[in-house]
Amino acid sequence: MNYTQPMLREGALTDKVAIVTGGGSGLGKAMTKYFLELGAKVVITSRDLEKLKNTAKELEEQTGGKVLCVSCDVRNWDDVEAMKDVTLKEFGKIDILVNNAAGNFISPTERLSHSAFDSILDIVLKGTKNCTLSIGKHWIDNKIAGTVLNIVTTYSWTGSAFVVPSACAKAGVLAMTRSLAVEWAKYNIRFNAIAPGPFPTKGAWERLLPGDLAEKFDMRKKVPLRRVGEHQELANLAAYLVSDFSAFVNGEVVTIDGGEWLQGAGEFNMLEQIPSEMWDMLEMMIKSKKK
Ligand code: HXC
Ligand code: NAP
């Protein structure tokens, strides 16, 4: 048994049609690959059709599955509506929406122009809203059950310095997840989220740890399990949350970060740095105060 192995049973997503925004790279690509292996048809979208086509070719060859590439800027309502229409035309239905597309970069907030701030809010929050509203209305109007998986971050609830637009937008996406999980349950539409810790991808690492920052701030040291995530681990969780096996899971955000955010949060977690041989002395010092 190994966490880099596929988890769900063969055919777990047979006959499902999934849309993965930002599915041409990084974690979106990893989820797409696994959904295909499990029998789903997958629509991948982003602004770069060439990149999508290369990914589709690679994944179709690897899995024997069927991928539809659609150029779609999630910030643009008309693009999203057109993406929905072409999916219905090609695949006849939509069962699963994964709001994975995101934009992000590190910057002191006072250095940001108002439009730089907007560009992140627009991709992450408005993009998720556009896709959710477009496909959600289709499901509701046609009495179709659906499931939405939103990819957020652990700083959706802690906040984070130097990625403030992303933190604001992801917090909004988490609020949307929990709100619609309740409101649209009556339409048989489920909403869940995944909050990943560090999973190395080109897109994230180039913008969040440029230059030698990746060596300077070794992400593994921030994680109690002392490693970063493997893409298959996230794909396993995502596949479960979009599959019928999680039918009673609704409104949940599942953290997959090796304990990273809790390590930063616990008041005395820094005591991990105390060598074990020091604890006898510390215990003695504490007990001596009693006398
Ligand atoms: C300050 C910056 C900047 C930077 C861009 N801008 N980069 N400001 N510091 N490093 C400003 C620009 O000057 C411009 O402002 C505005 O932001 C929009 O920039 P454009 O390049 O015109 O925008 P666009 O082409 O739409 O690109 C969007 C982008 C880009 C977000 C800036 O990085 C992108 O395409 N990203 C997509 C992929 C991505 O980000 N993946 C990482 C996700 S990782 P002005 O004022 O000139 O208009 C993630 C992980 C979270 O979310 C958690 C990790 C643990
Ligand atoms: P990534 O490869 O850069 O993925 C982001 C994707 O979003 C890209 O494929 C990009 O494609 C697409 N995208 C960006 N702007 C778009 C727009 N306006 N319209 C449509 N698509 C757009 O980075 P990643 O690390 O895999 O991130 C995937 C998700 O995981 C994101 O939601 C991110 O916030 C989340 N996450 C990642 C980590 C991590 O450690 N990697 C941690 C926490 C959360 P184009 O540029 O071609 O449009």
Ligand 2 near 283 CB (within 6 A): no
pLDDT tens figures, 9-40: 999 999 999 999 999 999 999 999 999 999 99
Beta strands in the chain (DSSP E): 17-21, 41-46, 67-71, 96-99, 146-151, 189-196, 253-256
Q: Is the dihedral of CA 79, 83, 89, 95 positive or negative?
A: negative
- Ligand 2 centre from 181 Cα, in Å? 23
Could you give the CA distance from residue 47 to residue 25 in angstroms, rounded to a whole number? Answer: 12
Ligand 2 near 76 CB (within 6 A): no
47 found inside a domain: yes
Is the pLDDT confidence value at 1 over 80? Answer: no
Half-sphere exposure of 275 (CA within 13 A, CB side): 3
88 found inside a domain: yes
Tell me what the mean pLDDT of segment 114-124 comes to: 98
148 found inside a domain: yes
Q: Mind giving me the DSSP string for 95-128? A: -EEEE---------GGG--HHHHHHHHIIIIIHH
pLDDT tens figures, 167-177: 999 999 999 99
Task: Give the CATH number, domain containing residue 168.
Answer: 3.40.50.720
7 found inside a domain: no
- Which pLDDT does position 19 carry in this prediction? 99
2 found inside a domain: no
- Which pLDDT does position 228 carry in this prediction? 97
Tell me what the mean pLDDT of segment 233-244 comes to: 98
Other C-beta atoms lying within 10 Å of the C-beta of residue 133: 15
Two tokens, residue 237: 């969780």
The answer to whether 136 touches 143, Cβ cutoff 8 Å, is no
* Catalytically annotated residues: 155
Could you give the CA distance from residue 224 to residue 263 in angstroms, rounded to a whole number? Answer: 7
Ligand 2 near 46 CB (within 6 A): yes
Tell me what the mean pLDDT of segment 145-154 comes to: 98
Strands 189-196 and 41-46 turn out to be: unpaired
Q: Give every CB contact of residue 38 below 8 A, 6+ residues apart in sequence.
A: 6, 8, 10, 11, 12, 13, 14, 239, 243
Is the pLDDT confidence value at 2 over 90? Answer: no
CA angle 142, 47, 150 (to 5 degrees): 50
pLDDT tier at 41, thresholds 50, 70, 90: very high
3 found inside a domain: no
pLDDT tens figures, 198-207: 999 999 999 9
4 found inside a domain: no
Ligand 2 near 153 CB (within 6 A): yes
Q: Which atom of ligand 1 has the smallest separation from the CA of 105?
A: 10
In what order do the strands lie in the sheet containing 146-151? Answer: 67-71, 41-46, 17-21, 96-99, 146-151, 189-196, 253-256
pLDDT tier at 290, thresholds 50, 70, 90: confident
Q: In total, how many domains does the chain have?
A: 1
Q: Which ligand is nearest to the CA of 222?
A: 1
pLDDT tens figures, 51-61: 999 999 999 99
- What is the pLDDT of the chain when averaged over all its residues? 97
Is the pLDDT confidence value at 69 over 80? Answer: yes
98 found inside a domain: yes
Give percent above pLDDT 70 in the chain.
99
Q: Which atom of ligand 2 has the smallest separation from the CA of 170?
A: 34
Is the pLDDT confidence value at 107 over 70? Answer: yes
